[in-house]
Chain A
Amino acid sequence: MIAYFLRRLISAIPTLLAIITIAFFMMRIAPGGPFDTERRLPPEVEANLEKAYHLNEPLVAQYWDYLGGILHGDFGPSFRYKDFTVTELIRAGFPVSLKLGLSAIVIALVLGIAFGTYAALRQNRLGDHAVMGLAVTGIAIPNYVVAPLLTLVLGIYLGWLPVGGWNDGAFRNMILPVATLALPLIAYVTRLTRGSMIEVLRANYIRTARAKGLPMRLIVWRHALPAAILPVITYLGPAAAAVLTGSLVVEQIFGLPGIGRYFIQGALNRDYTLVMGVVIFYASLIILLNLMVDLLYALLDPKVSYR
């Protein structure tokens, strides 16, 4: 198991290197540069800026410099946010994105598994149809529609919740963004749980348990749920990715200081170092999460083992 873990970690290095290289050169191929803005700078001033950021050196030399910097944990200064280094920006933004994302995933798991199990147990009855109808709606409505609707009703018409801002992660400020992020996830988890639960409930060992006269609660909790939950665990990898990409939209709409927004803003501003920093950070995170999901899978499913 440990050998497997290490092997996976080592094999991540070439993947990361490829991502860094492709991202670095693609960023530079894109027309326009960090100083192409509405307010053009005179050439002599731009020359001073390019020198300050080493942009006047050959591209390949810049690439090696950049790789060297990464090895020392230095992602360089941001072009757009001149008073900060990229590391400082990610350090400031990540806790926000993490808090949002984790809350959304936890809520999605708890509610999704609960709803899914409920629907499975009432298969093809009113409760099932109601839950599944809601789930399909949840999947179908994109978060950039849900978010303004929620803020309009709960924030402006009713005045119950703040419509934006982070306020140091106050609970009130978290509710709407987390709800927006979690809704489609709840819907997915509900559907996944329902499907696999129905399948598991038909399995022979469940029938045996029933025949033994075990109470239904015990059967579901102890025997059915651990098996039914496996597809949900598999979904955690894509869910994490969905939360990351979803947070781009949610952070933008609610004006939250996470790192999701750096992706879009950084790319539009040609903030080379910031985009690279976020790309590397996200790539590492996704590689790590996928690895953890695989390991978790091995723990939960006796049929899977890694060597």
Chain B
Amino acid sequence: MGTVKFWVASFLAAAAVLGLTRGLIANEYFFFAGYVVLQYIVLATAWNILGGYTGYTNFGVGAFFAVGAYSSVVLHKLTSVPVPVMILVGGLISGILGFGMGYLTLRLKGVFFAIATLALAIVAQTLIVNWDYVGGSRGIYVIRPQQAPLFGSYIQYLYSLMLILVWVSVVIARTIERSRLGLGFNAIRDDEAAAEAGGVPTLRLKLISTSLSGALMGMSGAPLPYYVTYLDPASSFNLSYAVNSVAMPLIGGMSSWPGPVIGAVLLGTIQQLATVTISSALNLLIVGLLLITFVIIAPNGILGLIQARRRARLR
């Protein structure tokens, strides 16, 4: 399906989901939980642009996510801006962080790159912990506005915004996939030296990948302060964001945009159910075990399994 058609079709699908869920579901908890699942779709999709498409594993997801959240905190303290503006600002700052990270880690590959991303996340967290303006290690309380801009509760409003973000990130991912940029990313992933020798400006493309991925992650974190109303570094920089962002595309499939979506919906929903029924630590254990299991038996994820079955049937 052509790019424009996809944009329209996916927009209609998103609008339909929005209309149906907000129109039919009265249980507020659905929107609480739904926000988190949608947030993970964005995180997983964003991660996959750098990870699945370009081949660079980012463990520092927490940093981009938290920077998005904390930039909203700063804005909230300075002035009063609507959340969509906060999302854009969060995306911009995280995008710059992504650019910086890409620049610093240019020559690193594989595990070195991954650990460097972890290092940057720790450094970022240490800076925030020592910054009293945003609460430091004690954290900060953020008061949700009384009125939601449109009809419905504030949580429904945040849920709607996140749904729009999901649409944006999916559309970006798919557009990249079908473009010269996406092919360049794949070439870098498969063999960077050969890509460079083939005329691909690898440095430039890597910077685009890290910046875009970081920006989307930041955008997914920007509404967080209003969602949780209490923000602290320990939870916003939590390694579980990295584990989830790796596990979801890996389980869903890293080769194309439906993979992270499937993985995020699956894992996100399981986790939301588990948090209610069992402890949250056990729920994280499940994510970790699923990650390990899938990486061993289905390294190309659910998408990979579907593709393999399709190929087998053709023979």
A interacts with B: no
Interface residues of B (CB under 8 A from A): none
